[in-house]
Structure 1
Amino acid sequence: MANTVLILVGTRKGAFVLESDAARKEWSLRGPFCETWPMNHVVGDPATGTIYAGGGNEWFGPAVWRSDDAGRSWSHSSQGLAYPEGETPVRAVWSLGLRNGSLYAGVEPAGLFESRDGGKSFSHVAGLREHPSRPEWQAGAGGLILHSMVLDPDDHDRIWVAISAAGVFHSADGGRSWEPRNSGTRCDFLPEDQRYPEFGQCVHCLVRAAGSSGRLYQQNHCGMYRSDDAARNWRSIEAGLPSTFGFPAAAHPRDENTLFLAPLNGDTAGRFMPEGKAAVWRTRDGGETWQDLRAGLPQHNAYLSVLRQALATDTLEPAGVYMGTTSGELYASADEGESWTQVASHLPGILSVETLARPG
């Protein structure tokens, strides 16, 4: 049983760590770390307690930072995080994933790298950028970024990634070959007769449901979707939500039917929470119905925005839910979203939120 819970926060000016016991009522804050580099994603390895932070920009370049002591000290490396000479340089690391001793990094311009030595060096998983559709990939508003990855915990060869704005791609052979998996997701920004292309969708977030059923969820620029067949086909589950637009999604750690969202009011309407009233939305039935959760969240002049990796759950019982905003507030719920507490404020703009539960 976990005795300590960490909230790992990536911001525009470094990484932060919040710590609490299993009750999750009081939190202590440490940071900023990583020399205040922009940190797009901070994750923890539950097997070792190691924390990894990925970030950078066109000035700093890309790097992955590592801490083996819960964030008190850090080292970093960019070895191998580069494309061949003549290609557009890697600007930043945008997403991190851990599985079976491997650390994966999704980068901008969109591509995938793997480290087998704990982030000391990386090798390019070249098959993704060799896909025939690559010359037609288009950048989203935030750039051409690989921002989400799903690593099958039971099959080391299966990987799903999401790229803005190229769509979802899947590999069944460890990254040597890939296929687009976007059937059923629409592109409202294309002419009506082209709205369901093979690739080119603007995916905002891709997450795996608990269990081994093959269920995935995605928040798209153009709707909310669920797949029950490992992303071969998608169906809309946006009915009942206040908007078809948002960035993050967070899956329950044990229940495949429970998902949390933070919808925004639209891509051209300000990209803040509808009516300036903060809410996290939850489904308990795989997206058939939705409930807005507001207790403890601001309901007046709350023009908050939450980015694609800034909503997370923990593994405790009941599951905790955590949400970070671009204006630097961090909210926590220890009861699956029924009630919320602001546990940090005035942080730099929050880019990602993840959790790490550990003994001791």
Structure 2
Amino acid sequence: MSTALIGTRKGLFTLTATDGAFQLSDPAFPGVRVTNAVHDPRDGALYASLDHGHFGVHLHRSDDGGATWPEIAAPEYPPKPDGVSELNPMSQQEIEWATQLAWIVEPGHPDEPGVLWCGTIPGGLFRSSDRGDSWQLVESLWNHPSRQKWFGGGYDDAGVHSISIDPRGPGRLVVGVSCGGAWRTDDGGATWAIAAHGMRADFVPPDQADDPDTQDPHRVVRCAAAPDMLWTQHHCGIFRSTDNGDRWTEITEAGPSTFGFAVAVHPADPETAWFVPGVSDEVRMPVDGKLVVTRTRDGGATFDVLHQGLPDGPAYDLIYRHAFDIDDTGDELLMGSTTGSLWWTGDGGDHWHEVSSNLPPIASVRFC
């Protein structure tokens, strides 16, 4: 591991490793909630999404390895047209056309220099063609009739939290929405197709359980070497797709539980994926108070339960959807928890090493 970005409730930390020893930097943006941070491999830029609470959403870019962080534009919704009223289908409250959270910023395809994507709450996807200096709402998705059925999962309103770039060509991506299913575009966002058939929801009436437009995928990831293979940690279990989201198959048995938020897939082996199980949405803590990671090497047929180096309990760590990442080799993983603990493994999860136990609550980890 060379470098990783750790987004927390009280700033952005940089993790480096030298001769097997880890070092955490002082925080950038001290005291500010960093929702997500990412390294752009195309030009080396770093991006950070900040939530200033009452003072709104701010985005920053660093072109000098994190030494300085000039502010760039934040995604802004257009004014709601006169006479337009949109109600959250669950709360029946008016949906405001305003950026509540920049949940994820994702660099575009390698052949699209300068292109970034940003997923936000209340359910909008934005695109930038100039490295975040300006943003445009992807109106084709925002205006899609199915959006009227979307609603929030952990947040009141729907949110775009997963942006999976297809390496086979520019403009091809899958996005995950809570609670609005998964959507695929092959033309840069001009048109969209639902990519959530086969998912199952138990938080709606039984006759609506299979509706792809109201599914709650917690995180959607793709195998780089086999782009048609997608994995998701869903509110109601683990699912995988072998056809780029056309159809999903549920994995019903996976160690302590199939509930969780985090998922990682091996970049070269589509059959190998990792998850961090919890009790349930209502009880967001490890099963039996024991933090473990589950791993499948055969496409979900069987799972290993990995715990060496992790706390035996009682543990109350929850791993958010962006707080689990895998490097380009498929050997190293990072995992950060809501209690401020950070773990690293260099052997695919067989042995975990505690990097820190006293960081602020961790929202995201990302290898550079």
Q: TM-score, normalised by structure 1?
A: 0.92
2-structure distance, mates of 1:89, 1:191 = 30
2-structure distance, mates of 1:5, 1:12 = 23
Runs of 4+ in structure 1 deviating by more than 6 angstroms, as ranges, are none
> What is the SS of the residue equivalent to 1:135?
helix
1-structure distance, mates of 2:262, 2:286 = 13
Where relative contact order (Cα < 8 A, 6+ residues apart) is larger, the structure is 1
2:193 to 158, 176, 179: 179
| Aligned residue identity for 1:125 | V
> Are 1:142 and 2:155 an aligned pair?
yes
1:164 CA displacement: 0.7
Alignment-derived partner of residue 278 in structure 1: 291
Alignment-derived partner of residue 83 in structure 1: 77
Alignment-derived partner of residue 47 in structure 2: 52
Alignment-derived partner of residue 123 in structure 1: 136
Alignment-derived partner of residue 71 in structure 1: 66
CA contact (8 A) 1:19 1:28 kept: yes
Q: Which runs of 5+ in 2 are unaligned?
A: 81-95
The answer to which of 176-185 and 326-335 deviates more is: 176-185
1-structure distance, mates of 2:64, 2:252 = 42
1:247 to 239, 250, 261: 261
> Are 1:350 and 2:362 an aligned pair?
yes
Alignment-derived partner of residue 3 in structure 2: 6
2-structure distance, mates of 1:330, 1:35 = 18
CA contact (8 A) 2:199 2:212 kept: no
CA contact (8 A) 2:290 2:313 kept: yes
CA contact (8 A) 1:15 1:36 kept: no
CA contact (8 A) 1:58 1:92 kept: no
1:126-170 per-residue CA deviation (whole Å, 9 max, x = no partner) reads: 111011111221111224211111111221121111111111111
CA contact (8 A) 1:305 1:326 kept: yes
2-structure distance, mates of 1:337, 1:88 = 42
Alignment map for 1:194-213 (pairs within 5 Å): 194-213=208-227
Alignment-derived partner of residue 19 in structure 1: 16
CA contact (8 A) 2:316 2:339 kept: no
CA contact (8 A) 1:63 1:92 kept: no
1-structure distance, mates of 2:52, 2:147 = 22
2-structure distance, mates of 1:285, 1:195 = 28
1:311-343 per-residue CA deviation (whole Å, 9 max, x = no partner) reads: 111124x61011000011100001111111111
CA contact (8 A) 2:13 2:25 kept: yes
> What is the SS of the residue equivalent to 1:302?
coil
1:49 CA displacement: 2.4
The verdict on how the C-alpha distance between 1:58 and 1:110 changes in structure 2, with shifts beyond 3 A counting, is farther
> Are 1:163 and 2:146 an aligned pair?
no
1-structure distance, mates of 2:197, 2:319 = 27
The answer to which of 88-97 and 44-53 deviates more is: 44-53
The answer to which of 95-104 and 49-58 deviates more is: 49-58
2-structure distance, mates of 1:123, 1:343 = 39
1:57 CA displacement: 4.9
> What is the SS of the residue equivalent to 1:32?
coil
Alignment-derived partner of residue 206 in structure 2: 192
CA RMSD of aligned residues (A): 1.6
1-structure distance, mates of 2:221, 2:261 = 12
The verdict on how the C-alpha distance between 1:129 and 1:254 changes in structure 2, with shifts beyond 3 A counting, is same
> Are 1:331 and 2:328 an aligned pair?
no
| Aligned residue identity for 1:151 | I
CA contact (8 A) 2:254 2:294 kept: no
1:285-311 per-residue CA deviation (whole Å, 9 max, x = no partner) reads: 111111011111110211211111111
2-structure distance, mates of 1:37, 1:153 = 33
Identity %: 37
The answer to which of 277-286 and 227-236 deviates more is: 277-286
Alignment map for 1:231-242 (pairs within 5 Å): 231-242=245-256
Alignment-derived partner of residue 111 in structure 1: 124
User: How many residues align structurally?
Assistant: 348
The verdict on how the C-alpha distance between 1:16 and 1:50 changes in structure 2, with shifts beyond 3 A counting, is same
> Are 1:297 and 2:314 an aligned pair?
no
The verdict on how the C-alpha distance between 1:130 and 1:354 changes in structure 2, with shifts beyond 3 A counting, is same
1-structure distance, mates of 2:337, 2:285 = 10
Q: Which runs of 5+ in 1 are unaligned?
A: none
> Are 1:29 and 2:42 an aligned pair?
no
1:319 to 331, 335, 353: 331
CA contact (8 A) 1:41 1:309 kept: yes
1:36 CA displacement: 3.5
> Are 1:219 and 2:233 an aligned pair?
yes
2-structure distance, mates of 1:244, 1:281 = 9
| Aligned residue identity for 1:73 | T
| Aligned residue identity for 2:149 | E
